[in-house]
Structure 1
Amino acid sequence: MTPATRQAAGLRTSRRTSRLSWPLTALLLLVAIVWSGWLARTQLRGEASVIDRLETATLDWRLQIAGPLAPPGTVAIVAIDDRTVTAEGGYPLARGRVAAIVAAIERSGAKGLAIDILFAGSGGSTSGETGGGETGGGEAAAGDVALAAALARIPSAIAAAATFDKAASSLVPMAEDVLSPAALFADAARVGLVNVSTDAGGTPRLMPMLVLTPKGPMPSILLAAAGLGTGGEAALSGDAVRLGAASRRLDLGWHLPLRFHGPAGTIATVSVEQLLTKGSDPKLAGKLVFLGVTATAIGDNFSTPFDPQMPGVEVLATGAANLIDGTALVRDAAVRRIDAGAAIALTLAAVGLIALVPLPIALAVAAATLLAWLGATTIGVASGVWLASVLPLAAMLPPAALAGSIRLYQDRRLARTLAAAEAALRRFQPRALALHLAGHPDFLMVPQERSVAILFVDLAGFTGMSERLGASRTRDVLKEFHTLVVEELVPRGGVVLNFMGDGAMVVFGLPEEGDGDATHALAASLAMIAAVRGWIARTGAETRLGGVRLGAHYGPVILSRLGHDEEQHITATGDSVNVASRLMEVAKSHGAGIAVSKALWDAADVAGLTPPESWEVVAIRGRAEAMTVGLWR
């Protein structure tokens, strides 16, 4: 092999190994499986992690992009607000007054009532949020009786509250203790827990449908109230809530993911003061009504994606509307399996691409895939499905960064090797051939026949110039001439196969054949003659060259490697090569600068090209048949 061939083979070998080796790729994929599999396992099991904090933050963004839900038509709120507290002379309200509120809600035609107030104790006890307000024990007892009677007249659910050990963790919440309503009220209404599950920032995310307590399992107030006024009860069935014929899918541990309708006040709200003044309100008719406190500095408030201060009673009403209307976010075991599968698949795909595909392409595809998943999660949330956005990102980035770092190091090392090898290769072959040989070291090991355009060019008066200028200056003049040949012909698709003293052989159609080879050869011939004549004019006083001659032909040739197995060069042979060479003689004998065959002219797209000044039928030395030749003088 020539140095060129050996360089080409070296480049080919390097390119075969530019990807990571199979053992290293397998090791990186194993790391990716272990890492993403561990994260997927935490997702499937619902284990708390830092990822959850980031996930809830991105959930807020996606909810804001999706926008708020329309106000529900199934749920309303009766609020003990600032106006009510002022009108009643303070808080807590006497239970007799609460009984009047319940009666007004019943008169309004509400189908059910859920009360976010803890009626602990009786007979004027103040152990709960409301427990007194009456001036005497008898009056307090009467208020209790009135409230119990009012609750009995309307399907209702009242609040209990659980306390938890913050250090304990389980999918189904386990309460240390429960603050329950007095038996008088518990006998008149269903009882449900009002606890909500918040994230690290205090935003309610989930509503537990069931809590394990020392007294046994207790339902959420949503579960207790959802079926009020319908003749049935909401019940847990597998991983869902059955509500009549409807089924609402739940997250692990029987949690309902909340989706808020908008800022505070989005759900229809009636002030207690207004309700008591009017005696009833038609806005409550046919709805499940939540009674609770919204007054400043009295009721509990939560931050939500749409409002930093939402009253707790509206959070509960939101959960009830989600449960009744089916507007809750869906994040059950099936969705979590999709999350886990996406995390593992995206991670393996990213690592595999980085290991085996060119790094820029791999990174672009991996980023596009991840963005597509993030887009899918945004669309999912808008459609009511809570797909994880952070889990695949957290699963993908560390293994991908590791693989990318290793690949970047290897690619940079190979790039330096390739640059040095290609620079050396270009010294032995034209650039187009060098690049082609780098990717195809077996190029022309088997000769190929194809039609190409061949161009020969030489200087007139070169011998006399060499005698006058001497070897050193003649070499400088040749260097200038050869530079002109390369600058005019190579950009137009020509490959200089050989510089022969004051001449050059150029082929159009090497290394690959193209539809425009003949056209490029003609255009390059005209440009070449103009450029060389300009150069001769600038250097004429010294060189005294007689001009330039160019012959060009289009026809079949044999492209092959000639020479010894260890010393080869690529060339074109055949009658078409001889004809192109002889056409320079035709140009000289006719006093022309360019002579091209009719075959070349016919093969080219000549639109816009200057036509020959004349067409001549001439004999070609060494050939029996005459040829039609176009001449430019």
Structure 2
Amino acid sequence: MARAVGARGLHAAAALALALAWSGVLATLHLEGRATLLDRIEAPLLDLRFALAGPRPAPAEVVIVALDDATLAEAGTYPLPRATLARLVRTLSGAGARGIGLDILFLERGPEAGDRDLAAALREAGAVIAGAALFARAGDGSEPAAEVPRAETVLWPTETLRASAGLGLVNVATDHGGTPRHVPLLIRADDAVLPAFALRLAARAARAEPVLTEGRLTVGRTRLRPDLGLSLPLRFYGPRGTIRTLSAAAVLRGAAGPEVLRDRVVIVGATATAGADTFATPFDPVLPGVELLATALGHLVAGDGLVRDLPVRRVDAAVAAALAAGAALLLPLAPPSLGLSLVGLAAVAWLAAAQLAFAQAGLWLGAGLPLAAMAPVVAFGIAGRMILDRRLAGRLAQAERALRVFQPPALAARIAGDPGYLAAPVAQVLGIVFVDLSGFTRLSETLGPAATQAFLKGFHALVEEEVTRAGGLVMTFMGDGAMSLFGLPEPGPDDADHALAAAAALVPRVRAWLRAESRADALDLRVGAHHGTVVVSRLGSRDHQHITATGDSVNVASRLMEVAKTLGAALVASEDLLAACRDSRAEIAAFEDRRAVAIRGRRQPLAVAVRWVRPA
């Protein structure tokens, strides 16, 4: 057992070292915001959290004016003429919109008059127009990192329009599956730092410049906690149309009343079937890009986005280390079912807490990081525990086999299945048979130790075989004698018959063996058999015990061997034994004499049956 405890301690120490090292590596990558394979675990778990939390209302302050199929049909062309866009901007401004942004890349010049008209409308409204950053390699800028992403180049609007409006970049960061997860709020380009389209528009609407202090971004009256690299995690409101959307055609016709635009922040963008860029989100596989930007704008206006800043990431790292360390200690040291249950409950509890924090407070606590931190530790813990338990089981089986040698097999099996067997003494009626070799003391003086041991081993094996065949247990070997009981571990109705059968069979069998060993002239067998109440119990100290039978009936059976020696008989059985037999007529009839004999230590004589059975 000490070896098992020591091995489990070493296993736990190794598992703990693995847990701390592995979770430390994962935590470092997580705190640096590096893209890893963990994102492939986190992404579907995050989508599941969106699905469980369900859609939620979008901020009423944000409105989308869609360049939809109806608008393109009325305009008769795509892209819309600059003059039409200028009229749309003036209509929105006249309706009291406090912020106007055009999610349109004006990369090419239009008719000169149209460009001048649109530039004037943008300037008058204080509108924001879109640019787009390009990165050196595929994937650059698509993952949040500790540093502000750096673009290789920027797709600028034409100079006329750029000089007349605010500029914001419409880039989004997607995961490996193409689902947008972040909007970079700032992007470096050459020596400049350019704001995101949503950030520039939110600042224009708030009439205040964004302020960044101690990891907090303030836009007007809204305070946010951006992620690493000043990226904004997206908390989708629902499927397309969740954010209030008006058709640009309806606005141009005056069908949209001023009350739906007054004091709103408006994004103009394409939703038409042929002209809109779309993204897959947890709620909608084809969310228009303008609605994605409106989602980011809603976070900046209402402050209701996801929170996954450095403190949240530190919580992720701490929980991952704690869960991995807990698994490292529980799986090697606790009982297997309890250890696995506790580890599973801890993981489920964390996932439930992360879901609750997500739904109630918008906290993006990591689910993939703790699970990934636990996975190799759990595998190592289970595999190591299986190996150690298998080795322990092997040692226990070996020890049990060794211990069985010191107990009768049937009794050893009972103790193995019921360790408390005979913890309290039990009185029961049994058959008792004592055997002894007369003349062995003189013989052993001439045999020597080795020959004596070999002779006794053969004798004991013969007695064990005959007693076991008759259904009894040899409880004790006493040199050249033995005590056997019939009725253990469970008493039966034929115990007396079995005892008499064994006693009768032992005489000719042992004598035949003595003849084969050329010891028939020097030795003979004496057998005493009785039936009565005995006390079966464990004797000895707490650390060293053996099972034996005591009581008057045991003493009587032992004294019957003395009677056999005095009478020169081979077998003496009490009348109590014969009376208890149910089906031993032949054996009983074979007794040659019945008489009452004195028993040493007893006042009353005992009725016995005697068989001389002289050697042939």
TM-score, normalised with respect to structure 1: 0.67
1:368 corresponds in structure 2 to 345
2:471 corresponds in structure 1 to 479
Q: Is the 8 A contact 2:207 2:220 kept in 1?
A: no
Question: 2-side partners of 1:540 and 1:237: how far apart?
Answer: 96
Instruction: Return the match for 1:157 from 107, 128, 144.
Output: 128
Going from structure 1 to structure 2, the CA distance change for 1:147 and 1:358 (only over 3 Å counts) comes to same
Question: 1-side partners of 2:419 and 2:534: how far apart?
Answer: 31
**Counterpart code for 1:351:** A
**Counterpart code for 1:293:** A
Instruction: Return the match for 2:75 from 82, 88, 94.
Output: 88
* 1:435 CA drift (Å): 5.7
Going from structure 1 to structure 2, the CA distance change for 1:500 and 1:98 (only over 3 Å counts) comes to same
Instruction: Return the match for 1:419 from 374, 397, 416.
Output: 397
**Counterpart code for 1:243:** V
Question: 1-side partners of 2:548 and 2:387: how far apart?
Answer: 42
* 1:475 CA drift (Å): 3.2
Matched length: 497
Question: 2-side partners of 1:176 and 1:473: how far apart?
Answer: 94
**Does 1:336 pair with 2:333?**
no
SS in 1 for 2:427: strand
Instruction: Return the match for 1:560 from 523, 536, 540.
Output: 540
**CA deviation digits over 1:371-429, x for unaligned, max 9?**
33233333333231112222222222234423443332232122122122123324535
2:278 corresponds in structure 1 to 301
**Counterpart code for 2:309:** D
**Counterpart code for 2:321:** I
More contact order relative to length (CA 8 Å, sep ≥ 6): 1
**Counterpart code for 1:64:** A
Question: 2-side partners of 1:265 and 1:176: how far apart?
Answer: 34
**Counterpart code for 2:228:** L
Q: Is the 8 A contact 1:301 1:312 kept in 2?
A: yes
Q: Is the 8 A contact 1:107 1:280 kept in 2?
A: no
Going from structure 1 to structure 2, the CA distance change for 1:114 and 1:547 (only over 3 Å counts) comes to farther
SS in 2 for 1:226: helix
**Does 1:395 pair with 2:373?**
yes
**Counterpart code for 1:456:** Q
* 1:549 CA drift (Å): 5.7
* 1:353 CA drift (Å): 2.8
1:455 corresponds in structure 2 to 427
Instruction: Return the match for 2:243 from 267, 278, 302.
Output: 267
SS in 2 for 1:376: helix
Q: Is the 8 A contact 1:456 1:503 kept in 2?
A: no
Q: Counterparts in 2 of 1:92-111, with a 5 A limit?
A: 92-111=79-98
**Counterpart code for 1:88:** A
1:257 corresponds in structure 2 to 233
Q: Report percent identity of matched pairs.
A: 37
Q: Is the 8 A contact 2:530 2:553 kept in 1?
A: no
**CA deviation digits over 1:593-631, x for unaligned, max 9?**
9xxxxxxxxxxxxxxxxxxxxxxxxxxx99xxxxxxxxx
Question: 2-side partners of 1:365 and 1:428: how far apart?
Answer: 41
1:19 corresponds in structure 2 to 8
Q: Is the 8 A contact 2:430 2:534 kept in 1?
A: no
**Counterpart code for 1:300:** D
SS in 2 for 1:259: coil
Q: Counterparts in 2 of 1:516-531, with a 5 A limit?
A: none
**CA deviation digits over 1:574-596, x for unaligned, max 9?**
xxx869999xxxxx99xx99xxx
Instruction: Return the match for 2:41 from 35, 54, 60.
Output: 54
SS in 2 for 1:19: helix
1:178 corresponds in structure 2 to 154
Question: 1-side partners of 2:423 and 2:240: how far apart?
Answer: 80
Q: Counterparts in 2 of 1:315-354, with a 5 A limit?
A: 315-354=292-331
2:173 corresponds in structure 1 to 197
Question: 1-side partners of 2:181 and 2:19: how far apart?
Answer: 31
Question: 2-side partners of 1:459 and 1:412: how far apart?
Answer: 42
SS in 2 for 1:479: coil
**Counterpart code for 1:376:** A
**Does 1:223 pair with 2:199?**
yes
Q: Counterparts in 2 of 1:525-604, with a 5 A limit?
A: 532-533=492-493, 535=494, 560-561=540-541, 569-570=545-546
Q: Is the 8 A contact 1:228 1:288 kept in 2?
A: no
Question: 1-side partners of 2:394 and 2:495: how far apart?
Answer: 41
TM-score, normalised with respect to structure 2: 0.69
Unaligned runs of 5+ in 2: 435-462, 475-481, 503-528, 556-574, 581-600, 603-616
